[in-house]
Chain A
Amino acid sequence: ETGVTQTPRHLVMGMTNKKSLKCEQHLGHNAMYWYKQSAKKPLELMFVYSLEERVENNSVPSRFSPECPNSSHLFLHLHTLQPEDSALYLCASSPDRARYEQYFGPGTRLTVT
């Protein structure tokens, strides 16, 4: 595997379910990110991890819970979601947090029913 991978690619879940999104980067980067992409809206940065420490949390509801067990893996745990949470969730990594371009995974298309 190369680059940034995300699983699953598609997920349909009910509002009472609990699920997790997984991201893995094979680039040796130190920073990882979760983004939400909705139609007609700019990419919304949700969480930033640098060297496995959460350094940014942009007022994201507590029903989204990130986890970064090591510098190569990032999870987004989901519970009690709302229909408006349906979106494309993108993971990205960069060599460092500042002044570096990001490399994105293909995303997980999430539908909340």
Chain B
Amino acid sequence: EDQVTQSPEALRLQEGESSSLNCSYTVSGLRGLFWYRQDPGKGPEFLFTLYSAGEEKEKERLKATLTKKESFLHITAPKPEDSATYLCAVQAGVRDKIIFGKGTRLHILP
């Protein structure tokens, strides 16, 4: 069964304390992996798309990487404004099925 699992479920960090969020997937025929950020009461906001193992993308304090089984979202020296829920999604198979993970709630303490 196609599945996307994100860990940890929640993460509290001090401002400046770097860490990584994990998204592991078991799907047939990965077409793309997407990272989104969601603030409370808002829709998800697109961050990155990764298409093949070894690919990396960066934006400000965030860096996303992809292997054949998982993706990491690395957060370097986070600030309180990075607090949000981070969602991972994959698109896979001949029917371009879209599957989201449950997300990681990130809280950065000042």
Contacts and interface: CB of A to CB of B under 8 A. Distances in A.
Q: Do A and B bind each other?
A: yes
A77 B31 CA distance: 31
Contact of B96 (A98, A101, A105): A98
A49 to B, nearest CB: 13
B8 interface: no
A104 B45 contact: yes
Contacts, number: 50
B31 A98 contact: yes
Interface residues of B, number: 24
Interface residues of A, number: 21
Given A90-B43, A104-B44, A99 B51 contact: yes
Contacts of A90: 43-44
A107 B32 CA distance: 24
A103 interface: yes
